[in-house]
Amino acid sequence: MTVGFWLPLAILLSSLLPGILIFFLDESKHRLRTILNLGGASLKLVLIGLLIWGVFNEIEYETRLTLAPGMDLVLHADALSVLFVTLSTGLWFVTTLYAIGYLEDAPHRSRFFGFFSLCVSATIGIAMAGNMLTFLFFYELLTLSTYPLVVHRGTPEALRGGRIYLTYTIIGGAALLAGVAWLRAVAGPLDFTETGILASRTDLDRTTLTAIFALLIGGLGVKAALVPLHGWLPQAMIAPAPVSALLHAVAVVKAGAFGIVRVVYDVYGVEFTAELNLLLPLAVIASITIVYGSVRALFQDELKKRLAYSTVSQVSYIALGTAILGPIASIGGIVHLVHQGLMKITLFFCAGNYAETLGIHHISEMRGVGHRMPWTTLAFTLGALGMIGVPPMAGFISKWYLGRGALTAEMDWVLWVLVASSLLNAAYFLPIVYKAWFHRQEGEWPQERHFGRFETHWMLLLPPVITGILALLVGLFAAAPYSALEWARLIAFREYGQ
Amino acid sequence: MNQPIWYALIATALFCIGLAGLVINRHLLRRILAINVMSTGVFLMFVALAGRTGALPDPVPLAMVLTGLVVSVSATALALVLIVRIQHLHGCVEFPEDDA
Amino acid sequence: MTKSDPVRLISVVLTLLAVAVIGLLLAWAVFTLPEQAVGLSSMVSDRMPESGVNAEVTAILLNFRSYDTLLELVVLLVALLGAWYLGKMHLSPEDTKPGLVLEGLVRFLVPVMILVTGYILWLGSHAAGGAFQAGALLAGAGVLMLVVSREKLPLRDSIQLRILLVAGPAVFTLVAGALVLVDKPMLQYPRQYAGSLILLIEAASTLTIGITLTLLFAGGRPHRGD
Amino acid sequence: MSQMAALVLMPLFGAFIAFVLPRYARITGITVAFIQLGLALSLATTIYAGETLRLSAAGWDPPLGIGLYADGLTALFLCLTSVVGLGTSLHAIGYFKFDRNDSNHNTSAHGWWPLWLALWAALNALFLTEDAFNLYVTLELIGLAAVALVALEAHAVAAATRYLLVGLLGSMFYLLGVGLLYALHGTVDMKALSAGMQPEPAAWMAMALMTAGLLLKTALFPLHFWLPPAHANAPAPVSAILSALVVKAAFYALLRLWLGPFEPLAADLAGQLIGILGAAAIIWGSVQAFMAPRLKLVVAYSTVAQIGYLFLWFPLAGSSIAGSIAWYGVVWLALSHGLAKAGLFLAAGNILHASGHDRVTDLAGVGQHLPITLFAVGIACASIMGLPPSGGFVGKWLLLNAAFVSGQWWWAVVMLLGGIMAAAYSFRVLLHAFRNKESQLPQHRPHPVMEWSALALAVCAVLLGILSAQPLALLEVGASVGELALTEAPK
């Protein structure tokens, strides 16, 4: 019962307990709710700081709760989980700030923030899960806690989106459960370990393992929105902006991608996966998803829809990086976990601002918006350029490593995939940016609202600016010590045992 | 082929007659009678097989039968009361669902 | 019968077949039973001296397996409660058309029946008989009076009546509880009191059973007292 | 020791008081409920220490007398009964008090307490008994009390009668089986029986008859036809008791018999057959639940489906390791289903009570007016779907492992399918309930205790998943399947 035991648990509870309290809070208690939210978020940040410090000083962090003999819930902190935990906590903080501004005097706020905190706790749990059971545990919890957020508005289309979201995720969850239980039954309790566990297990039947792998990836692919399991993502756009932001940047989609990384690296082990000839199919699916998502994005006029499809495409970079043998590509994939999160959340914040302030939902309405909302549009531009991969933006780093990794792995075709997707990204982002800055908007905005001195409510303005600048910085100072890239490097080299 | 077995066979017959009656009849009163026939069969089985322990019959099954009798009397009584109630409500002495 | 007749016919035939199969299997099972059975007769007769009564069946019902009997009294009570809360008793005066003969017969019979009830209750301690037979007889008397004329049998929902209705199982439970309190296993009577305890329980049960069955015949809760 | 006796006598006496002095019925009921919880917990702690308890009622040892027996399984079911019983009793305060207002419910308000307490005593008696004939008496007592409780709802009389007839039929089968067993072995004590049992026609017949009778009472597909009308039309607290406890009682008897006297006879074929029926129950029940128009009917059919899971133990029981894992799994499912389903029925009762109807399609606004109740529904559904971190998940997880370990993966497919279908019918309800509606306030605001008791039971179902270590350890005490040993990774 040391710090090593309590810290992961504390990190989990720092968002779980406030969430549960908030549920039973009266709607009117606005101030108290805000305090709980931000207090929890700040506390979590502090704890994460402790965690990072500890991990650097090789302190072993593990919380192990035995549910039943042979059924352990394990929360642990290795380099990968630290990366994801930090990302999600940081983004949770800004998103909470954003959500408070966004939902001012909207109904059912206690319910919203309650589930919001639950959702983050689930993500944290996923990040720190020490074995498949724990992962599954929080993966399902994530499904449950995000559903009410998606249907929060209670409108028919929201419910429709929610239903589709559920259908996909529940079935995906079932597939994952099947895979995990099967693996558990044939191989015993499997704690995540770098370079994987199964490689050493010569006693296991290869075909069984392949089938299990298919089940696991199938289950995770739903949340990671791998084609053809991506159908729910554009529908889930109905959700309020902060929710979409969180869903796309960290919570749901990332959980899927992260899970894939875990399965390939820490359960099967990347070499063993390659040995089973499972990497190439994964790479192909990922590539298809990347191109397909970009193409679909091209034809969306609704801003959030376009962003959604771009998520479909961007998140698969992570899967792609995982599926290419060799540390360099792995670095690209892992670091994209962070980069895509920062960039995408910025874009969604901005989309939310346009909608809230000017009632803009469609790209066609965005002419000259840059002059009305310079700061927001600036942030948007940063995010967009990052997505395209313009150096020295964050996105460039990811793509650079992916490309080099592909070459070293003699998978040159991947390079073409990257080029194609970058061009497509440019094709669907640049026109927006151009419209925003270089067009004059004639006539009224759809429905304009004024918030004091700033172009919009400061709580809405601050988050995108912060994340936008961050997205720039992680690119600029990628080589700096303790940057996301350095972490990714650490993880990748450990995975390849170098 | 001794006497107890004969009685046991008769008990079997009663049980089956009751079972068939219960399934086939729609009228609730008949169904309850059928169940009572069944229970008679069961009790007869107890008593008959109790007679295989030499001179005096084994008293334990007899006691069990007495208990069983009271139980089945109670059940029958409750069933009859319910049926009367059904007749009040639905005007017929069958399950409303059955004639659908 | 809205079901078309051929369908019904088929279902009947199938039922009969199924039942026949069950019957044959059962018969087969019975045939294979050993000629001479192991029973508990000897064990019962060995224990009779300690049981407090001289009739084996009574000893089993109220001593060896008294727990069954307790629960069974509760079954009877529950059946009554079911009727009780389902509605009021429905015996309207026009159900009862007493003729002179019946009147006279009842006036003569009922006292006799009550006497016999007492006798059978007492008989239970050393021969066939006991609470249930006695209670049934008492119920018979009650039913007769109900049939002849309700006025003669003043059944009113009063606390006294309710007490009588639970008397049997309640006394039984109290005895059991008391024995548990002096931490014996429940219902293990002390040797010297066994006989009297059994008689007490049987007496209470007889009353309860008699009234309960009468009420069940009447089919519901009597009208409020006073 | 003395708790065993008290667990039966206390509620009995409460029932008598509740009948004789209706005015003090409620206070009696609540007091008894709390004492029962205490007794059950103390018994559980005694057994947790590692010893199984035996008590010969009336002081005569079996086979002459009746033996009572308590091990981990008994203790857990007693605890389940007392927790659900307490929650339901508290709910009943609000539920039946409200009914006082209109005259035709007046009797039901009075009838609830004595009948429920008698039923409670019968349940405890069944869990404790080790005597096949005494088991019959308790079964009948449970049956009659349950029927009487269902009949408290005026329009449920037909359902109650059907329920009674089915129950009696089942008892007859069971009793005939007992007769054969006695004829074979000259005893009805289960311990003695399991010692002396060897495969022969009469034994097989007894096994078939008793199993059939109990399957009828457990409402295993296709013998479930009587359950939905009875459970869906009874007053809410009664439905909760029926689905959570009464059905489980018959299943408990089956477990006892199949692991006791019938173990030497259990044929693989019989197990597979029962398993197939269980699978069919899962599918059929879920489909019906998905199509059911009324909330309480949805819940009732979901019981039919969930019962199916319990019978997946029988096909897996064959192999030793998988069998033991599966046994723990089904017991866990039974417990968590008991808690969740009780909470669900109580919550459904609140909705019915508040809006005057429970048509699934018109549930809009429930989320606004009865947030606590809706929350209870959500949590209970999560456990029934088997989503972590609920008791339902632990049970399903164990069962899945058993299926894969034994190599009979098709049962796993059925379980997962059942889970998805459960999600389908649960979210069908939740989706409707989530819809906002600028609607008038409900006619009757349910008493707070009604909402919180429902929530509390649902939460207990989840706690059963999070805090399952100690209860599982308790379950291992005296378990004839041995300790729970999930496959470990070979070193």
Q: Which of residues 165-184 of D touch C (CB under 8 A)?
A: 176, 180, 183-184
For residue C41, the model assigns a pLDDT of 87
Which of C22, C70, C71, C73 best tests the D interface by mutation, with the highest count of D CBs <10 A? Answer: C71
- How far is it, in rounded angstroms, from Cα A235 to Cα A244? 11
Q: How far is D94 from chain A (nearest CA, A)?
A: 22
Average pLDDT over residues D448-465: 93
For residue A139, the model assigns a pLDDT of 92
pLDDT digits (tens, 9 = 90+) for A252-289: 888 999 999 999 988 888 888 888 889 999 999 999 99
Average pLDDT over residues A7-32: 84
Pairing of strands D53-57, D66-70: antiparallel
Q: How far is B55 from chain D (nearest CA, A)?
A: 16
Q: Which residue in D57, D141, D145 is closest to C67 by CB distance? A: D57
Query: Tokens at residue D320, please?
Result: 């030793």
pLDDT digits (tens, 9 = 90+) for D317-335: 877 788 889 999 999 999 9
DSSP A295-316: HHHHT--BHHHHHHHHHHHHHH
Residue C187 clears pLDDT 60, i.e. is over it:
yes
Q: How far is B56 from chain C (nearest CA, A)?
A: 8
Q: How far is D286 from chain A (nearest CA, A)?
A: 16
Asked whether C165 and C211 are in contact (CB, 8 A), the reply is yes
Q: Is C7 on the interface with B (CB under 8 A)?
A: no
pLDDT digits (tens, 9 = 90+) for C204-218: 999 999 999 999 998
At residue A166, what is the residue type?
L
Helix axes D391-405, D371-385, angle to 10 degrees: 10
List, in sequence order, every residue forming a beta bridge with A76; answer none if it has no partner: A62
A189 to D409: CB separation less than 8 angstroms, yes or no: no
Domain with B60, as residue range(s), is 3-99
For residue D365, the model assigns a pLDDT of 79
Which of C31, C41, C43, C68 best tests the D interface by mutation, with the highest count of D CBs <10 A? Answer: C68
Q: What is the CA radius of gyration of chain D?
A: 21
Average pLDDT, chain D: 90
pLDDT digits (tens, 9 = 90+) for A344-377: 899 999 998 888 888 888 888 888 888 888 888 9
Which of D366, D486, D488 best tests the A interface by mutation, with the highest count of A CBs <10 A? Answer: D486
List, in sequence order, every residue forming a beta bridge with D53; answer none if it has no partner: D70
Q: What is the dihedral of CA A424, A430, A431, A434, to 10 degrees?
A: -170
CB proximity list for D181: less than 8 A, separation 6 or greater: D132, D188, D193, D203, D206, D261
Q: How confident is the model at residue D371 (pLDDT cuts 50, 70, 90)?
A: confident
Annotated domain spans of chain A? 278-498
Asked whether D16 and D41 are in contact (CB, 8 A), the reply is no
List, in sequence order, every residue forming a beta bridge with C215; answer none if it has no partner: none
In chain D, residues with a C-beta closer than 8 Å to the C-beta of C71 are 122, 125, 134, 137-138, 141
- How far is it, in rounded angstroms, from Cα A49 to Cα A346? 23
Which of B5, B30, B46, B67 best tests the C interface by mutation, with the highest count of C CBs <10 A? Answer: B67
- How far is it, in rounded angstroms, from Cα D389 to Cα B17? 52
Q: SS3 string of A84-148?
A: HHHHHHHHHHHHHHHHHHHCCCCCCHHHHHHHHHHHHHHHHHHHHECEHHHHHHHHHHHHHHHHH
Asked whether B4 and B52 are in contact (CB, 8 A), the reply is yes
Tell me whether the omega of the peptide bond preceding residue D389 falls within 30 degrees of 0, making it cis.
Answer: yes
Cβ atoms within 10 A of the Cβ of A494, count?
16
For residue D367, the model assigns a pLDDT of 78
Q: How far is C175 from chain D (nearest CA, A)?
A: 10
pLDDT digits (tens, 9 = 90+) for A65-104: 887 777 888 888 888 888 888 888 888 888 888 888 888 7
Which of C41, C63, C69, C212 best tests the B interface by mutation, with the highest count of B CBs <10 A? Answer: C41
Q: Is B3 on the interface with C (CB under 8 A)?
A: no
How many separate domains does chain B show?
A: 1
For residue D487, the model assigns a pLDDT of 58
Total-model pTM: 0.91
List, in sequence order, every residue forming a beta bridge with C163; answer none if it has no partner: none
Residue A180 clears pLDDT 60, i.e. is over it:
yes
For residue A153, the model assigns a pLDDT of 80
B53 vs D308, which has greater pLDDT? Answer: D308
- How far is it, in rounded angstroms, from Cα A419 to Cα A291? 10
**SS3 call for D52:** coil
Which of D2, D10, D19 best tests the C interface by mutation, with the highest count of C CBs <10 A? Answer: D19
Residue D441 clears pLDDT 60, i.e. is over it:
no
| Residue in chain B nearest C31 by alpha carbon | B5
Neighbours of chain B (3+ CB pairs under 8 A): C, D
Neighbours of chain C (3+ CB pairs under 8 A): B, D
Nearest alpha carbon to residue D202 among D171, D176, D236: D176
| Residue in chain D nearest A201 by alpha carbon | D490
Burial grade of D224 (CB within 10 A; 0-12, 13-18, 19 or more)? buried
In chain B, residues with a C-beta closer than 8 Å to the C-beta of D148 are 78
Nearest alpha carbon to residue D341 among D237, D449, D214: D237
Q: Is B56 on the interface with C (CB under 8 A)?
A: yes
Q: How confident is the model at residue D483 (pLDDT cuts 50, 70, 90)?
A: confident
Q: How confident is the model at residue A498 (pLDDT cuts 50, 70, 90)?
A: low
Which of B14, B27, B56, B78 best tests the C interface by mutation, with the highest count of C CBs <10 A? Answer: B78
Q: How confident is the model at residue C104 (pLDDT cuts 50, 70, 90)?
A: confident
**SS3 call for A269:** coil
- How far is it, in rounded angstroms, from Cα A268 to Cα A393? 33
Q: What proportion of chain D, given as a percentage, has pLDDT over 70?
A: 95
For residue D490, the model assigns a pLDDT of 42
Q: How confident is the model at residue D439 (pLDDT cuts 50, 70, 90)?
A: low
Q: What proportion of chain A, given as a percentage, has pLDDT over 90?
A: 20
| Residue in chain D nearest C191 by alpha carbon | D59
Q: Which residue in C26, C72, C85 is closest to D108 by CB distance? A: C85
Give the C-alpha distances (Å, rounded to integers) separating D26 from A109, C160, D15, D18.
Answer: 39, 21, 11, 7
Q: Which residue in A162, A174, A184 is closest to D401 by CB distance? A: A184
- How far is it, in rounded angstroms, from Cα D8 to Cα D134? 13
Q: Which of residues 256-315 of D touch C (CB under 8 A)?
A: none
Average pLDDT, chain C: 87
A and D touch per CB criterion (3+ pairs under 8 A): yes
For residue D104, the model assigns a pLDDT of 45
C82 to D151: CB separation less than 8 angstroms, yes or no: yes
Asked whether A150 and A165 are in contact (CB, 8 A), the reply is yes
For residue C67, the model assigns a pLDDT of 94
Residue A1 clears pLDDT 70, i.e. is over it:
no
For residue A100, the model assigns a pLDDT of 86
Nearest alpha carbon to residue A225 among A194, A248, A191, A197: A248
Q: Which residue in A166, A184, A187 is closest to D427 by CB distance? A: A166
C69 to B82: CB separation less than 8 angstroms, yes or no: no
For residue C165, the model assigns a pLDDT of 95
User: b/e for D262-296, b at 16 or more Cβ within 10 A?
Assistant: beebeeeebbeebbbbbbbbbbbbbebbbebebbb
Q: How confident is the model at residue C184 (pLDDT cuts 50, 70, 90)?
A: confident
DSSP H or E segment with residue D70: strand D66-70
CATH code of residue B19: 1.10.287.3510
In chain A, residues with a C-beta closer than 8 Å to the C-beta of D484 are 68-70
B81 to C83: CB separation less than 8 angstroms, yes or no: yes
Residues of B with CB under 8 A from a CB of D: 15, 18-19, 22, 28, 31-32, 35, 38-39, 41-42, 45-46, 49, 52-53, 58, 60-61, 64, 67-68, 71-72, 74-75, 78-79, 82-83, 85-86, 89-90, 95-97
Residue D138 clears pLDDT 90, i.e. is over it:
yes
Average pLDDT over residues A148-166: 85
For residue B97, the model assigns a pLDDT of 61
For residue D491, the model assigns a pLDDT of 36
A170 to D423: CB separation less than 8 angstroms, yes or no: yes
Q: How confident is the model at residue C1 (pLDDT cuts 50, 70, 90)?
A: very low
Q: What is the CA radius of gyration of chain A?
A: 21
Q: Which of residues 79-138 of C touch B (CB under 8 A)?
A: 79-80, 82-83, 86-87, 90, 132
Q: How far is D2 from chain C (nearest CA, A)?
A: 6
Beta-carbon pairs below 8 A across chains B and D: 83
Give the C-alpha distances (Å, rounded to integers) separating A387 from A77, A339, A403, A468, C209.
Answer: 29, 9, 15, 12, 87
- How far is it, in rounded angstroms, from Cα A468 to Cα A465? 5
Opening angle at CA B24, ends B18 and B30, nearest 5:
60
pLDDT digits (tens, 9 = 90+) for D150-205: 999 888 999 999 999 999 999 999 999 999 999 999 999 999 999 888 889 999 99
CB proximity list for D317: less than 8 A, separation 6 or greater: D258, D266, D271, D323, D326, D327
For residue C74, the model assigns a pLDDT of 97
CB proximity list for B2: less than 8 A, separation 6 or greater: B52, C35
Asked whether D230 and D160 are in contact (CB, 8 A), the reply is yes
Nearest alpha carbon to residue D301 among D341, D253, D353: D341
- How far is it, in rounded angstroms, from Cα A389 to Cα D84? 60
Q: Side-chain half-sphere of A332: how many Cα atoms within 13 Å?
A: 28
D and C touch per CB criterion (3+ pairs under 8 A): yes
Q: How far is A133 from chain D (nearest CA, A)?
A: 10
In chain B, residues with a C-beta closer than 8 Å to the C-beta of C47 are none
- How far is it, in rounded angstroms, from Cα A113 to Cα A129? 24
Query: Tokens at residue D57, please?
Result: 């009622």
Q: Which residue in D20, D141, D184 is closest to C75 by CB distance? A: D141
- How far is it, in rounded angstroms, from Cα A52 to Cα D73? 46
Q: Which of residues 16-35 of B touch C (CB under 8 A)?
A: 16, 19-20, 23-24, 26
- How far is it, in rounded angstroms, from Cα D184 to Cα D226? 33
A186 to D388: CB separation less than 8 angstroms, yes or no: no
In chain D, residues with a C-beta closer than 8 Å to the C-beta of A133 are 397
Q: SS3 string of C148-216?
A: HCHHHCCCCECHHHHHHHHHHHHHHHHHHHHHHHCCCCCCCCCHHHHHHHHHHHHHHHHHHHHHHHHHH
B59 to C41: CB separation less than 8 angstroms, yes or no: yes
Least confident span in C166-180, D63-77, D231-245, D467-481: D467-481
Average pLDDT, chain A: 86
Asked whether C185 and D59 are in contact (CB, 8 A), the reply is yes
pLDDT digits (tens, 9 = 90+) for C152-168: 677 788 899 999 999 99
Nearest alpha carbon to residue D302 among D462, D424, D447, D143: D424
